Amino acid sequence: KAGVTQTPRYLIKTRGQQVTLSCSPISGHRSVSWYQQTPGQGLQFLFEYFSETQRNKGNFPGRFSGRQFSNSRSEMNVSTLELGDSALYLCASSLEAGTYYEQYFGPGTRLTVT
Amino acid sequence: TQLLEQSPQFLSIQEGENLTVYCNSSSVFSSLQWYRQEPGEGPVLLVTVVTGGEVKKLKRLTFQFGDARKDSSLHITAAQPGDTGLYLCAGTNTGNQFYFGTGTSLTVIP
């Protein structure tokens, strides 16, 4: 079974621009979560989508948004980019395994804002 | 709010040594996962523990979930350079929100 895929792997953008990142979950997984990882802050939760609905949301400004399609693929968008948005953006899909969930990560998209 | 604290934050040891990484919280979790992440890549799931006191072994790695399901440890026996990476613990409560630990960066020197 193929793993979680993310595109693109690397991206360079300029302050003020917007960016869209894509994630394809493992087949059969309906939950997709997005995280931002930086050396100073570690892994920070952005949001989670399940069956095209946002189910959980982290503490990020409204410039960060996402959506999920009927095939469970997900996109996240960041508008009006700031230098501090430079980070590794990770997508994870998860499957309910009885009474708990297991989460599987993609390789990430490295975003650099100049 | 950081619910999970890992210690130590950094660890540099010689090949063949043993080590233990701790993941502590004041919150109770229904399950806890351990991941290893290499630079520029996503975290890879190593194990999930769900029962208080549970011990799981993965070759030279031993994972334990605390009796009260508030803490966990990862013990590596005879560390090898291939064990180098960032180790992350993550706890879940009801629902599907994961709370990640602060991370432990391990370097094993040949």
In a structure prediction context, what are the per-residue pLDDT tens digits for chain B, which is 110 residues long? 558 999 999 999 999 999 999 999 999 998 999 999 998 899 999 999 999 999 999 999 999 999 999 999 999 999 999 999 999 999 987 767 788 998 999 999 99
Phi-psi region of B10 (alpha: psi -120 to 50; beta: other; left: phi over 0): beta
Encoding tokens for residue B60?
A: 């030279």
Per DSSP, the three-state class of B81 is: helix
Interchain CB contact of A60 with B (< 8 Å): no
> Does B98 contact A97 at a Cβ distance shorter than 8 Å?
no
DSSP letters of A35-72? EEEETTTEEEEEEEEETTEEEEE-S--TTEEEEE-TTS
DSSP B83: G
Interchain CB contact of B38 with A (< 8 Å): no
